Amino acid sequence: MKNIMINTGNYIAAKAAVMAKPDVVAAYPITPQTTVVEAIASFIKSGEYKGEFICVESEHSAMSACIGAAATGVRTFTATSSHGLLLMHEMLHWAALARLPVVMCNINRVVGPGWNIWADENDSISQRDTGWIQFYCSSNQEIFDTVIQAFKLGENRDVALPVMINYNAFILSHTSMPAEIPTQKEIDDCLGRYKPLWKVDPKNPITFGNIIMPEHYEKIRRAMQDAHENAKKLIPKITKEWENKFGRFNGDLIEKYKCEDAETILLAMGAIAAESKVAIDNLRREGYKIGLARIRTFRPFPNEEIVKLSKKADLIIIDRNISCGNEGALFTEVKSALYKKSDVKVTGFIAGLGGKDVTYNHIIDMYKKSIKGKFKDTIWYGFKEVKA
């Protein structure tokens, strides 16, 4: 019989994390991540989690402690959000360059000022170049599956990179949805034991991270890039295996929805992408040939897949982030993927900043505006001048 849990994204993330049996969790509370930390603490009390939970004094220390623990060759997990993620920034680079497969949930939340705890993806988008693999989830089931898959992916020796699992504040973090939970044995069999690339060990007294000359440093950077390319190949394998075993497929680098005959394809991430499915169903009933390509991995970026999609359809990008001085980050990335490979029409929307609601009706409206309107680089959807 299937074990269905109905709970919040955060609880399900915590459940997945403890089922992966990390030896060390180090975390610091921040809204809306707090209930992940609280759930892990409760799993310690109940005996469900037997690892070490270090309640550190900041997110910077949370990531530093995960790095320290991972460097001894054990599995580590943490969770954060928004300012917490930004405070970690230096150590995000450190974890990736050290090739330590720390797994972290980041609950996408607005960056201040002013204080605002709702959904917005500028926090994780601004960590794009840290070397972390970045997933964006759109359901609680996907959060569970991706957390487990993240350990498998990051710990693979051809990858050996930290993995960030992003999901939107409240829309997922605090909303109860059903998720099928495999047995502990199934998870154990899936993950196996972590075999690190390197570790601090008195039996092998190496010095890690000392001064390095340009030629060696460049080699390390190149190896990270190669690892991302390896991840691109490995993610579809892992998700396929998962599908074979558990009968669930959330997509690999991309989740495609009704793309086969589509003349226009929406590209979005996270909760907006989930909402887009409803919009697409509605538009299809009206006779529009539209599909969705939900970007699951922002890093590595699915360039090749996007080029393939562009051969048959125009693209509409919805960004819940803004790289000020330019445009939405996904919009930039998509256009970069298409350079000299496709001259398809690409429209970019900025929507849902500051946690502004983006409903399927809004998405339908964006689509209709896009196909009727003139090509415009970036459209701030529903932007209104509000009085102070």
Partner 1 sequence: MAIKDIPDTECVLSGSAACPGCPATMALRTVFKALGKNTVMIVPACCTAVIESLYPKTCFDIPVMNIAFEAAAAGASGVEAGLRMQGKKDTTVVAWAGDGGTYDIGIQALSGAIERQTNFIYICYNNQIYSNTGIQRSGATPLGAWTTTTVGGKTENRKEMGDIIRAHHIPYAAQTCVSYPEDLYNKVKKAKSIKGSKYIEILAPCPPGWRFPMEKTVEMGTLAVETGAWALYEFENEKMTFNGKSKLLLEKKLKPKPIEEWIKYQGRFKHLFTPVRDEKTLKSIQDNTDIIWERYRSCYL
Q: Which residues bind partner 1 (CB under 8 A)?
A: 23-24, 26, 51-52, 54-58, 60-62, 64-74, 76, 90-91, 94, 200-202, 204-213, 216
Going by DSSP bridges, is the β-strand pair 52-55/76-81 parallel, antiparallel, or unpaired? unpaired
Question: What is the smallest separation between the CB atom of 213 and partner 1, expressed in angstroms?
Answer: 7
Of 1 and 213, the one with the shorter C-beta distance to partner 1 is 213
- CA-to-CA distance for 256 and 345, rounded, in angstroms? 19
Question: What is the smallest separation between the CB atom of 93 and partner 1, expressed in angstroms?
Answer: 9
Of 162 and 270, the one with the shorter C-beta distance to partner 1 is 162
Question: What is the smallest separation between the CB atom of 342 and partner 1, expressed in angstroms?
Answer: 42
Question: What is the smallest separation between the CB atom of 214 and partner 1, expressed in angstroms?
Answer: 11
- CA-to-CA distance for 197 and 212, rounded, in angstroms? 19
- CA-to-CA distance for 22 and 51, rounded, in angstroms? 6
Of 24 and 353, the one with the shorter C-beta distance to partner 1 is 24
Question: What is the smallest separation between the CB atom of 209 and partner 1, expressed in angstroms?
Answer: 3
- Which structure tokens are listed for 82? 């928004």
Helical (H) or strand (E) element with 136 = strand 133-136
- CA-to-CA distance for 80 and 30, rounded, in angstroms? 7
Of 91 and 159, the one with the shorter C-beta distance to partner 1 is 91
Distances in Å between the Cα of 298 and the Cα atoms of 11, 121, 131, 196 are 24, 12, 11, 25
- Which structure tokens are listed for 217? 């440093």
Of 89 and 174, the one with the shorter C-beta distance to partner 1 is 89
Question: What is the smallest separation between the CB atom of 215 and partner 1, expressed in angstroms?
Answer: 10
- CA-to-CA distance for 315 and 292, rounded, in angstroms? 9
The candidate with the shortest Cα–Cα distance to 105, out of 78, 84, 129, is 78
- CA-to-CA distance for 33 and 37, rounded, in angstroms? 7
Of 52 and 188, the one with the shorter C-beta distance to partner 1 is 52
Q: What phi, psi does 314 have (nearest 5°)? A: -70, 155
The total number of residues shown for the chain amounts to 388
Of 73 and 382, the one with the shorter C-beta distance to partner 1 is 73
Of 27 and 110, the one with the shorter C-beta distance to partner 1 is 27
Contact indicator for 180, 1 with CB cutoff of 8 Å:
no
Contact indicator for 101, 163 with CB cutoff of 8 Å:
yes
Contact indicator for 163, 150 with CB cutoff of 8 Å:
yes
Question: What is the smallest separation between the CB atom of 116 and partner 1, expressed in angstroms?
Answer: 26
Count CB neighbours of 283 within 10 A: 22
Of 88 and 153, the one with the shorter C-beta distance to partner 1 is 88
Of 65 and 104, the one with the shorter C-beta distance to partner 1 is 65
Contact indicator for 97, 90 with CB cutoff of 8 Å:
no
- Which structure tokens are listed for 16? 């997945």
Question: What is the smallest separation between the CB atom of 72 and partner 1, expressed in angstroms?
Answer: 3
User: Terminus-to-terminus CA distance in the chain, angstroms?
Assistant: 56
Question: What is the smallest separation between the CB atom of 74 and partner 1, expressed in angstroms?
Answer: 5
Going 200 to 63 to 103 to 294, the CA torsion angle's sign is: negative
The candidate with the shortest Cα–Cα distance to 152, out of 21, 64, 53, 39, is 21
Question: What is the smallest separation between the CB atom of 15 and partner 1, expressed in angstroms?
Answer: 20
